[in-house]
Chains A and B, each alone.
Chain A
Amino acid sequence: QKEVEQNSGPLSVPEGAIASLNCTYSDRGSQSFFWYRQYSGKSPELIMSIYSNGDKEDGRFTAQLNKASQYVSLLIRDSQPSDSATYLCAALQGAQKLVFGQGTRLTINP
């Protein structure tokens, strides 16, 4: 079982719709979780961090964490073509090892 798992996609969403990206993790002791966006040929860029169960909203982005289910998600509202990228989920293991999923490719269709 991979430490952090994501559906590799590609996920295709029409412009203006909600994009939903999901992630599961294996280390029940993980307490800190992060979503990064990576455009082709660029390095990952931090979008959101989440540490507590529930929802955390920042503009068009909402991160959701359910530690009991070991599940993290990212919702992107009013999707724009510029949101087309690979989205990486990361979990901090043992308070020191930041482990990434394989990423989900998201395409927003105009």
Chain B
Amino acid sequence: GAGVSQSPSNKVTEKGKDVELRCDPISGHTALYWYRQSLGQGLEFLIYFQGNSAPDKSGLPSDRFSAERTGGSVSTLTIQRTQQEDSAVYLCASSFIPDTEAFFGQGTRLTVV
């Protein structure tokens, strides 16, 4: 695709349910980043992929959060047993290689009720 695509755009889920967020990076981009942005706050780094590998998982808030990337392309961020504090916009970005400009998708707004 022309840009980074994230789905769904919006997700409302009940507390305790699992959710899966998807990111489809720009074709050919090897680096992929996930961030979380709470209302009025900055971007909180979650995880980074180079190809299918995640060298840095230090930002994942808890063991309820996991992420994977397959085929060096699509990535999914899974949140198990969602809590209200998980409500935020989840942003994905990709870059050709790590040292170059990263471009963001439109984000997934997650609301846990």
The reply to whether B99 and A46 form a contact with Cβ atoms under 8 Å apart is no
Q: In the assembly, what is the distance between CA of A49 and CA of B35, in Å?
A: 19
A98-B101 contact given A44-B43, A103-B42, CB 8 Å threshold: no
Q: Mark B87-108, 1 if CB is under 8 A from A, else 0.
A: 0000101000011111111110
Q: Which residue of the partner chain, among A46, A88, A97, A101, contacts B56 with CB atoms under 8 Å?
A: A97
Q: In the assembly, what is the distance between CA of A99 and CA of B41, in Å?
A: 14
Q: In the assembly, what is the distance between CA of A98 and CA of B45, in Å?
A: 8
- Chain A positions 30-58 with a Cβ under 8 Å from a chain B Cβ: 31-32, 34, 36, 42-46, 49
A80 at the interface (CB under 8 A from B): no
A46-B55 contact given A97-B48, A100-B42, CB 8 Å threshold: no
The reply to whether B42 and A98 form a contact with Cβ atoms under 8 Å apart is no
Task: Work out how many contacts link A and B, with CB atoms closer than 8 A.
Answer: 52
Number of interface residues of A (CB under 8 A): 22
Which B residues touch A99, using CB under 8 A?
A: 45
B50 at the interface (CB under 8 A from A): yes
Number of interface residues of B (CB under 8 A): 23
The reply to whether B98 and A102 form a contact with Cβ atoms under 8 Å apart is no
Say how far A59's CB is from chain B's closest CB, in angstroms: 16
Q: Mark B3-37, 1 if CB is under 8 A from A, else 0.
A: 00000000000000000000000000001010100
A49-B101 contact given A96-B55, A96-B56, CB 8 Å threshold: yes
A46-B101 contact given A96-B50, A100-B35, CB 8 Å threshold: yes
Which B residues touch A32, using CB under 8 A?
A: 99-100
Contacts beyond the supplied A92-B98, A96-B48: 10 A-B pairs with Cβ under 8 Å = A32-B100, A34-B102, A43-B106, A44-B91, A45-B104, A95-B99, A96-B50, A98-B102, A100-B42, A102-B42
B residues sitting closer than 8 Å to A (CB atoms) are: 31, 33, 35, 41-43, 45, 48, 50, 55-56, 91, 93, 98-107
| Closest 6 pairs (CB-CB, A-B) | A102-B42, A100-B43, A43-B104, A96-B98, A43-B107, A49-B101
